């Protein structure tokens, strides 16, 4: 499971990443908690108060809130309880899901459906239009994407020539991470997101990937069931602690 974590760090690269005795400090201008948090990849040892102060000082220096990310594959119940005692609230419980890519994925699409491979700037423009997300973090988002050093696949799905869904994947050491999958509001629950992910997986398989992973917020049961239908299974969960 640690290998999935590390692949995820590589696929979603922070501006700065420092491993301080099993706590990985990552910052990226505040865009996504994943790239702006203290991620535990080992059980925290030593003086809890000192370890927390160390993290808080790092994020304070960089003018960011201190956020802890705790994956369930390592034992940190006592440290988690300590964070709770400091009024760090548990938020955004999420699942990491994986699937093997030893067989091709059936991805036939109707004649009125087409796929396009875009450059990162073009893809990002469509992502914000389809998602309806506020564009205030677009610059920081693009900076993360442009730091990716591994093969990346920014893909868009069109219906009758109009964009309806997009997503991207990053291939790191045989593991293919799927990120930022979004379908425009009028076209949701019609199978377009599934068709897009299937096409991304087949691209990854052609590039030599042997597995895929993705992350989904636990409350998003629609997405969880979609990914289950595509062969993904729960690998582990994680959550954040914030003030």
Q: Which domains does the chain have, with CATH numbers?
A: 2-94 (no CATH), 103-209 (3.40.630.30)
Which residues neighbour 85 within 8 Å (Cβ) at sequence distance 6 or greater? none
What φ, ψ does residue 129 adopt, rounded to 5°? Answer: -65, -45
**What's the farthest any 2 CA atoms get from each other in the chain?**
62
- What is the DSSP pairing of strand 162-172 with strand 152-159? antiparallel
- Written as tens digits, the pLDDT of the chain (243 aa) is 899 999 999 999 999 999 999 999 999 999 999 999 999 999 999 999 999 999 999 999 999 999 999 999 999 999 999 999 999 999 999 999 999 998 777 766 667 889 999 999 999 999 999 998 888 889 999 999 999 999 999 999 999 999 999 999 999 989 999 999 999 999 998 999 999 999 999 999 999 999 999 999 999 999 999 999 999 999 999 999 999
CA 94 to chain centre: 10
Burial label, 195 (beta-carbon count in 10 A; 0-12, 13-18, 19+): buried
What φ, ψ does residue 221 adopt, rounded to 5°? Answer: -70, -25
**Tokens coding 218:** 């636990």
């Amino acid at each position: 499971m640690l290998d999935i974590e590390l692949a995820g760090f590589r696929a979603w690269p922070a501006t700065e990443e420092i491993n301080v005795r099993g706590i990985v400090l990552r910052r990226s201008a505040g865009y996504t908690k994943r790239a702006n948090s203290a991620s535990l990849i080992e059980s925290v040892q030593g003086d809890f108060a000192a370890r927390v102060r160390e993290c808080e000082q790092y994020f304070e220096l960089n003018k960011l809130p201190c956020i802890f990310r705790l994956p369930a594959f390592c034992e940190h119940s006592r440290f988690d309880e300590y964070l709770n005692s400091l009024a760090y609230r548990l938020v955004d419980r999420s699942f990491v899901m994986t699937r093997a890519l030893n067989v091709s994925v059936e991805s036939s699409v109707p004649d009125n459906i087409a796929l396009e491979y875009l450059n990162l700037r073009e893809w990002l423009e469509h992502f914000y239009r389809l998602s309806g997300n506020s564009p205030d973090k677009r610059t920081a988002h693009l900076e993360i994407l442009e730091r990716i050093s591994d093969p990346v696949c920014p893909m868009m799905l069109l219906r009758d020539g109009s964009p309806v869904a997009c997503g991207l994947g990053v291939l790191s050491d045989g593991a293919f991470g799927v990120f930022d999958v979004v379908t425009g509001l009028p076209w949701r629950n019609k199978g377009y997101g599934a068709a897009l992910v299937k096409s991304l997986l087949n691209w990854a398989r052609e590039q030599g990937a042997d597995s895929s992973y993705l992350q989904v917020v636990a409350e998003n049961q629609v997405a969880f069931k979609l990914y289950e239908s595509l062969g993904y299974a729960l690998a582990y969960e994680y959550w954040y602690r914030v003030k």
